[in-house]
Structure 1
Amino acid sequence: MRLLTFRAPDGRTLPGLIADPEAAETALTEALRAGDGPSAVLRVHPISATGVRNVGDLLQRENWRDLVSGPHVDTVDISARDLAPVIPRPGKILCTGLNYADHITEMGHELPDVPTLFAKFPDALTGPFDGVEVPADNSGALDFEGELAVVIGRDVPLGGAPDEVSATEAIAGYAVFDDFTMRDLQYRTAQWLQGKNLCSASGFGPWMTTGDAFDPGSATLVTRVNGVEKQRADTRELVFNPAALVRFITSFINLRPGDVIATGTSGGVGWARSPREMLTDGDTVTVEITGLGGISNRITVR
């Protein structure tokens, strides 16, 4: 199943189930290749339940799979530009740094024994095809970081995912993520938080593919800037795979439905290139993962 959150004409957001996943991914891929991802048209079954306004709300219901499974009467065609972040307000967003061996090497670090984690706030998220506005004072070293994101689907108490099976069962699905980074702010101190939390800058979506329809160990991630490939990685190269991250995180905190884990970026980021390739006004960052679709965000410096 592919679940998304879309903006309705009346200003509300609603969750939806993609009616034909194969057709949706084909339409989106063709639009992205043509440089106009937002123009893709997706056929969606709106999901109607009291108090459910997005996929994050949906996952709070223990019977969310039953609600999604139908039967579905209504079908609407929506534009990809109407998509909101698939989980608009996660309770927690935990990002993983240094989780692909090539990226660890290019940044001058040793392979870690445990994951490196930092927090991103919900205010940092934006829709998968929304524009990203950057204040001029913060635009000195903007960077892209295409990533695989994990969405939690059930309560996992402290110590509640002691093995790979239980950790995998806690995952509702997967999506595409750009850990948009202001490198100069990131490295101004030993803490990365300020460089990772520009408001409305991290594209997230376009939908959540449920775990039964996606293998996180056999996908390819590609990041392009203005259509030029900058990152390419196989997700099997992750040092800590999604289940390992869930196990580690729940060894010290709990996870709730709708929480998000970004699994880290691969080699090829702009900061590590020689010479460095920082994003500028008018650049468009596109991130695609096979089986999950893609996102595309254009930068405007103001």
Structure 2
Amino acid sequence: MTGSVWAFSRALSSIKTRLISKELANICVPFSAVRCFSVTQARNMKLVQFTYNTKPDEVRAGYMEGDDVVDLNKADGSLPLKLVDILKLDCAVERIAQIKAKKPQGVPLSGVRLEAPITNQDKVIGVGLNYLDHCKEQNLTPPEVPMIFSKFSSVIIGPNDAVKLRTEITQSVDWEVELAVVIGKECTMIDAKDAYNYVLGYTVAQDISARDWQKKKNSGQFILGKSMDTFCPIGPWIVTADEIKDPQCLDIKCTLNSVVKQNSNTCQLIHKIPDVIARLASVMTLYPGDIILSGTPGGVGMHRNPPEFLKPGDKLISEIQSIGTLETRVVKFDQCGCK
């Protein structure tokens, strides 16, 4: 063929390749064959933190055994009380798995109060504009690199706590259901192919956001709009990573007052979990207990017509397939700090 015809053929082939690649990126294809885990059945766990009804101020770590909670410190007195401190130990998950294999007795859920499954972590990190449908509802081009922001770790609350609205300073508080990735061991300067080795597991989260403070009242910086007290419910437990076949092919849904607002799948994630972890670890050290909020799908209140926002008396139900359901009440902020 002539040089011009050959050049045109090469260009057409390149365009087809790019189009096919773009379509494949949106298909849920499990990639468990390349996952970097070495696990036993005993490791499949739902990790929790809780307080006994008789000791409401002492937070303890455990795991679910059916409808019971097993207290890790009672099963092994050498273990710290809180999960983040257990994770700092060598072979922490393996030690928990060894306890589980011995089948110690648990206590009924009726005798405890489930708290946030991980607290006192170093960092809570968010990824913005990371779902295709969320970008589409804003008519935005998906970002070429992950858009990273932070929330203070003090925002974390559990499945029995309420989001508390400071209605005197904001009337634009939004919901954002998210898959939360929990880091299990310290990592820095790692490759994406190794990222899953550092994941403890996953939980359900709400990246509650005061949109007026996020967009206008802090010169475009997200931190104050994202970090008001109680603005990150998580729970009810952390499902260990070996229970999740593919974290990027899970149904994810948010319901407000019995009306479905967000209904999507994590296959819509633009920047995949291993790539996000590797990018973060290239500039900072991630520590045990650190949380990465992987992004929210379309359906948030700010982009509805007309916009909708949370108010005292609302009830959020956040669900992620294979992980669980997180129910969250919305109340007016009370300076006494009562639960």
Deviations 1:156-213 (A, max 9, x none): 12x1x2132x101111100000000111111112111111011123111111111110
Question: Is residue 197 of structure 1 aligned with residue 227 of structure 2?
Answer: yes
TM-score (norm 1): 0.88
Note the C-alpha offset of 1:82.
1.5
Change (3 A) 1:81 1:106: farther
Matched length: 278
What CA distance in whole angstroms lies between the structure 1 residues aligned with 2:161 and 2:267? 29
What amino acid does structure 2 have at the position aligned with 1:163?
A: A
Change (3 A) 1:183 1:201: same
Note the C-alpha offset of 1:66.
2.8
Question: Is residue 68 of structure 1 aligned with residue 86 of structure 2?
Answer: no
Instruction: Pick one of 296, 299, 304 that aligns with 1:273.
Output: 304
Structure 2 unmatched runs, 5+: 1-44, 334-339
Question: Is residue 3 of structure 1 aligned with residue 28 of structure 2?
Answer: no
What CA distance in whole angstroms lies between the structure 1 residues aligned with 2:237 and 2:149? 24
Give the share of equivalent positions with the same residue, in percent.
30
Structure 1 unmatched runs, 5+: 21-41
Assess if the C-alpha contact under 8 Å between 1:45 and 1:72 holds in 2.
Answer: no
Q: What CA RMSD, in Å, does the superposition of the two structures yield over aligned residues? A: 1.6
Matched residue SS, 1:175: strand
Runs of 4+ in 1 over 6 A off after TM superposition: none
Instruction: Pick one of 203, 207, 217 that aligns with 1:175.
Output: 203
Note the C-alpha offset of 1:297.
1.1
Correspondence for 1:124: 155
What CA distance in whole angstroms lies between the structure 1 residues aligned with 2:296 and 2:225? 15
Correspondence for 1:104: 135
Assess if the C-alpha contact under 8 Å between 1:167 and 1:247 holds in 2.
Answer: yes
Assess if the C-alpha contact under 8 Å between 1:47 and 1:67 holds in 2.
Answer: no
Matched residue SS, 2:115: coil
Instruction: Pick one of 49, 70, 78 that aligns with 1:45.
Output: 70
Change (3 A) 1:80 1:245: farther
TM-score (norm 2): 0.79
Note the C-alpha offset of 1:51.
5.6
Bigger Rg, which one: 2
What CA distance in whole angstroms lies between the structure 2 residues aligned with 1:207 and 1:115? 26
Matched residue SS, 2:294: strand
What CA distance in whole angstroms lies between the structure 1 residues aligned with 2:68 and 2:325? 16
Assess if the C-alpha contact under 8 Å between 1:44 and 1:77 holds in 2.
Answer: yes
Matched residue SS, 1:265: coil
Question: Is residue 163 of structure 1 aligned with residue 192 of structure 2?
Answer: yes
Assess if the C-alpha contact under 8 Å between 1:54 and 1:86 holds in 2.
Answer: no
Change (3 A) 1:84 1:193: same
Within a 5 Å distance, the mapping from 1:248-259 to structure 2 comes to 248-259=279-290
Change (3 A) 1:153 1:201: same
Within a 5 Å distance, the mapping from 1:18-33 to structure 2 comes to 18-20=64-66
Within a 5 Å distance, the mapping from 1:232-247 to structure 2 comes to 232-247=263-278
Instruction: Pick one of 166, 189, 209 that aligns with 2:239.
Output: 209
Note the C-alpha offset of 1:129.
2.6
Note the C-alpha offset of 1:81.
8.0
Note the C-alpha offset of 1:50.
3.7
Matched residue SS, 1:172: strand
Note the C-alpha offset of 1:54.
2.3
Correspondence for 2:212: 184
Change (3 A) 1:107 1:129: farther
Deviations 1:50-87 (A, max 9, x none): 46222222211122123212124221012498211111
Correspondence for 2:34: none
Note the C-alpha offset of 1:44.
1.4
